[in-house]
Structure 1
Amino acid sequence: MHTLKNNKFIRMITATFVVVLSGTVLSAQAYDTSKIPSKPSSPISLTDNETYDFGGRTIDGGNIKNDGLFRCMNRRGVTIKNVTVTNSPRYALFARGCSSFTISNFKMKNMSGSVGGIRFDKGTENKSVTINNVTADNVGGHAVELWDVNGFTIGNITANKTGGSGLLINRSRNGSVSSVTGDRNNQGGGYATLRFANNAGPNVSVGKVKSRNSGRGFFTVSGTRGITVNSVDISGSTKEGIYIQDSSDTKVNGGKVRGNPNCRIRGGSNNAIKADCGGSIAN
């Protein structure tokens, strides 16, 4: 009996040690970003459980034409913050299969030759993503694009003069967005300041969308479901201010839209627009 009890005790102690050890290994460490040159010649590969605080530095991505300036590939526990990316790398940041990933105070400017800004790629699920205070000015493609993210918290996104959407969410679920503010997002085209597509949702809430002079203000399409927007402030869209297309359980609860046509719902089921559209909702 004593041997059995002792073995159980040893197993308990061993398990506790492993948990404590794992907790130590997973704690974030501060990476020395002074080692990263102001104009890198190759992509910067982010590593597990590191915090990359650039302290407001600007990193020139002009040498990175076929990749992301920052890369997160199957990593966890990464934080990157307080950085400005400029001069058109293919992407400012490219991530795939990353979890517990935080992006904060991240700026992009003078990137008209880029494919996009921040991209979470499809194929391998990303989990528990936090994005806050992202600013994009003159970026080719979408400022921020999510694919296959399960669990996300997005704070404030501001995107001006982008080739695509300010924020595009594809096949991602269980998340929240505080606000998206955009001007000239795909002006003259079909993208929107905030767009959901490719079976995005469900269980996604959005606080506010403010859009000026963009292709559209708020747009959902291709199987999007379970999206709720609290308020919109949309004007000057070259197409619909709000367009809910082939979506379900998608609702805009308030705000104001001015454009021509202002609002449209086509296809899908259980969708509603309660914003002031300045007239009837087209179909």
Structure 2
Amino acid sequence: MAQYLILTTVLALLSFAQAQCGSGSPHATVTGSGNSFTAARGSSTMYTGSDYRAAIQAALDSISSGQRVAVMASGSIGANTISISSGKIFEGCGTINVGNKAGRGAIESLNTQGVQIPYLTMTGNPYFGLRFYGTRDLSLGKITMNLSGGLGIRFDRDNPANSNVKMDVINVTGAGSHAVETWNIDGLNINQVIARDVGESGLLLQKTTNAWVGLVDGNNVATGTGYATFRMANNNGQNPNGNYNTNVYIDKVVSRGGGRGVFCVSQSGGVVIENVDLANNGNNAILIENCYNVSIRGGTVNGGGEVRLAARTEFPNNRDIWITLTVNNNSVRESPCGENTNWTLTGNAQKSIC
């Protein structure tokens, strides 16, 4: 299963291999600067004026499924929303500055199929930078968000589910909440999530199955909170039949400072993390709490908060846990004792395990 996921991910990410943003002959473009923007489709002008968001939406609305818009101009859309409908390819080649529209994304694609965003650079303080639900065959490429607050990429909790979502490299700096938060995805492939100075999680997976992630890399993520560079919560990895057979594969988690490094909670599991590199986390380096079939197969923890297996009384205890780690200048604690916990530990850490 892991090899299949990796192969399909590599093949899928080849679809992002255009030479550069806006290359070739986009079907529609947005050009201009300052207070003058033009949306054009071929020789036809779809919009001209001072409203950057209106120019972008006019360009998107002018194309059909399978066609591409390249936004070459930089500007601000304010506290508004850009909507992308099924089959359209959106390239944000300029820098799109955004505001905060309560409960909404600065860019949204809802109940759609086959949408692609190969390139995007976003600044500002959105409620959600990108917001999705009910998507199928969604592809996100090189997404860079240099934010002053808000949440980067969000898949909604209380709306229709998603399937076959792919992301290449997601860079998020300065989000007040999570860099990437998923709910209700079956089939998720991510190359990299790189989070810097993010208030809550770098990557938060919830009710997501059949997932592969190459790298989650966080620096100063979740400082002073209970979140983590990489967090799984709310039945993440639980299969439709209720079991926790392995279906989530994480190649590597790197975390420096901030809050927790890796956190599995609230009846999540079915996960293999091949390698971790965690140092000086301000909260638990690793916390596994009420999770099932979790394997951390190697890596290092140096300093920071303890490596901990814990359990709340409202959920069944941890079960089927395998942890192989080198832990230095730290401690490892299991309380209460889980069911079928397997430790392979090296390093100078103090140990209080079952």
For normalisation by structure 2, the TM-score amounts to 0.69
More deviation in 80-89 or 192-201? 80-89
Secondary structure of the equivalent of 1:247?
Answer: strand
More strand by share: 2
Structure 2 unaligned residues grouped into runs of 5+: 1-63, 239-246, 311-316, 335-354
Q: Deviations over 1:35-85 (max 9, x none)?
A: x87212520001100111123x11010264552111111011000122111
Q: Deviations over 1:77-133 (max 9, x none)?
A: 000122111110111101011110011110111322x1x110011231111000111
Misfit runs of 4+, over 6 Å? none
**Which position in structure 1 is the counterpart of 2:286?**
242
2:270 is equivalent to residue 226 of structure 1: yes
> In the TM superposition, what are the counterparts of 1:208-227 in structure 2 within 5 Å?
208-227=252-271
Amino acid at match of 1:276: T
2:235 is equivalent to residue 185 of structure 1: no
* Aligned mate of 1:44, from 58, 82, 99: 82
CA 141–237 in structure 1, closer or farther in 2 if over 3 Å, else same: same
Q: Give distance in 1, aligned partners of 2:199 and 2:89.
A: 30
- How many equivalent pairs are there? 254
- Does structure 2 conserve the Cα–Cα contact (< 8 Å) formed by 1:250 and 1:270? yes
Amino acid at match of 1:214: G
**Which position in structure 1 is the counterpart of 2:124?**
87
2:321 is equivalent to residue 271 of structure 1: yes
* Aligned mate of 2:302, from 234, 249, 258: 258
Structure 1 unaligned residues grouped into runs of 5+: 1-25
2:149 is equivalent to residue 119 of structure 1: no
Q: Deviations over 1:144-190 (max 9, x none)?
A: 00000000001111001111000000011001000010011111221
- Does structure 2 conserve the Cα–Cα contact (< 8 Å) formed by 1:149 and 1:172? yes
More deviation in 76-85 or 168-177? 76-85
> In the TM superposition, what are the counterparts of 1:157-196 in structure 2 within 5 Å?
157-196=193-232
Q: Give distance in 1, aligned partners of 2:331 and 2:98.
A: 47
Amino acid at match of 2:108: R
RMSD: 1.8
For normalisation by structure 1, the TM-score amounts to 0.85
2:178 is equivalent to residue 142 of structure 1: yes
* Aligned mate of 1:103, from 121, 140, 159: 140
CA 172–66 in structure 1, closer or farther in 2 if over 3 Å, else same: closer
CA 274–76 in structure 1, closer or farther in 2 if over 3 Å, else same: same
Q: For residue 219 of structure 1, report the CA deviation from its aligned partner.
A: 0.5
* Aligned mate of 1:132, from 168, 176, 179: 168
Q: Give distance in 2, aligned partners of 1:62 and 1:247.
A: 38
Q: Sequence identity, in percent?
A: 31
Q: Give distance in 2, aligned partners of 1:117 and 1:69.
A: 10
